[in-house]
Amino acid sequence: MKKALITGITGQDGSYLAEYLVQLGYEVFGIVRRQSVAENQSSRIHEINDQVTTYYGDLIDETSLYKIIRRVQPDEIYNLAAMSHVRVSFDVPSFTIKTNALGVLNMLEAYREVTPEAKFYQASSSEMFGNSVDNDGCQRLTTNMSPVSPYGCSKVMAYNLVCHYRNAYKLHACNGILFNHESPRRGTNFVTNKVVKGAVEIKKGLREKLELGNLDSSRDWGHSYDYVRSMHLILNHTEPRDWTVATGETRTVRQLCDYVFKSLGLNYRDYVVQNKRYMRPEELNYLKGDSLEIREKLGWKPRYNFEMMIDEMISIWQDRL
C-alpha cells in the first residue's frame, strides 16, 4: 500500500485528492494547520475522516515538517498548502511570501533530507504568468512569467525552487501549473462561489445586491476534481518534469454572472454592483491555458465542462440555503 502525504489536505484540492487516493488504495496522511474552530479545518474531509490520518503542522514550522515526514515515510508528497487568495495577498504580502515560497523551501529540505526517494508534487499556479500571453492567446510552460501579485511572485519562487532541487539533487520533484479550478468546496470569498452563493441568496430573498471587483477579467475555469486527478498523473509519470493543466477555454467574470443569474431566472445587471474594495492594485486581465501536452502524453481529460461545474455549485447552494 503506497503512502501519500498531503499538505493542505483540508482545502478544496486537498480534500478531493485525499478522496481520490483513498479510492486508489493509498494510505493517506495529511498536514493540518490548527484553527481555533476545529470544525472549520475538517469539514471538507469529514466523510473520509476515518480513512485518513492527520497531523498538526505548518509550512513555516520546519520542525513539524521533519517530524511528520519521518513518522509517515511517504512514497508521494503533494504540497498543496498555501496562502491561496490572490486579492488577500496584497494585504498580507509578507505572510504570503513566507508561506508560499519559504514554506516550499522548508518542505523541499525536509523531503530531501528524510525521504529523497519519494516523489514530490508542487501546486504551481497560472497566476505566475501575470499578463504574459503567447501570440495564439494561450499560456504554457514556455510563456514568460511576469506575476502581478504577491501571490504570483511567491509561486514563481516556489516553482523555481522545485526545478532547482530536481536538477541539483536528482529528486523526483514536479510542478503542476494549474489554471483556476473551482467546486462546491471552494471558499465563498473566491469569485465563482461568491457569485453562486450570492445569486442563490438573492433568488431566495436573503440579500438585495452582490458586490464584486473587476467584471471584465477573464479566467480559464475547471473543476477541482478533474485537476487533482492530473496531480496524480503528473507525479506518477516516469520522468519528473512540469506540466500545464487547463480547460483551454476562457470566460469573463461578467459571463460567469450572466450564466449563474440566468440559471436562476434573474438578470445579473439588476443585482451586481462593482466595489473598488475588491479590485486588485495590479490586475491580471486574462488567463487561458494550453494543456495539449498532458492530454496527449498522460491521457488527462476533464470530466466536467464549465456549465456542469457551475450547475453543481448552484444545486449545492440551493440545498444549503
Q: What is the pLDDT of residues 28-44, one digit of tens each?
A: 999 998 876 666 667 88
Identify the pLDDT of residue 14: 97
Q: Which residue's C-alpha cell is 492530454?
A: 295
- Low-confidence stretches of the chain (pLDDT beneath 70): 36-41
CATH topology for 188-219+250-287+306-320 is UDP-galactose 4-epimerase; domain 1 (3.90.25)
pLDDT given at position 112: 98
Query: Tell me: the pLDDT tens digits for 177-233?
Result: 999 999 999 999 999 999 999 999 999 999 999 999 999 999 999 999 999 999 999
In the 3-class helix/strand/coil scheme, how is 158-170 assigned residue by residue? HHHHHHHHHHHHC
Q: What is the pTM of this model?
A: 0.96
Pick from 159, 183, 168: nearest CA to 116: 168
**According to the model, what pLDDT value does residue 103 have?**
98
- Delimit the domains of the chain by residue range: 3-181+223-245, 188-219+250-287+306-320
Hey, do 3-181+223-245 and 188-219+250-287+306-320 end up sharing a CATH topology, with the first three levels equal?
no
Cite the DSSP H helix spans in the chain. Answer: 12-23, 38-42, 62-72, 86-89, 93-97, 103-114, 150-169, 191-203, 224-235, 253-263, 292-298, 306-320
pLDDT at 207: 97
Instruction: State the residue for C-alpha cell 496527449.
Output: 296
Report CA-CA distances (Å) from 79 to 206, 233, 277: 38, 15, 31
Architecture of the structural domain at 3-181+223-245: 3-Layer(aba) Sandwich (3.40)
Per-chain mean pLDDT for the chain? 96
Residue-level pLDDT at 49: 86
Q: What is the pLDDT of residues 267-277, one digit of tens each?
A: 999 999 999 99
Burial class (CB in 10 A: 0-12, 13-18, 19+), 83: buried
What residues are labeled active site? 125, 127, 151
Say how far apart CA 130 and CA 144 lie, in whole Å: 9
Q: What is the pLDDT of residue 20?
A: 98
202 closest CA partner among 257, 262, 266: 266
Q: Identify the three-state secondary structure at position 310.
A: helix
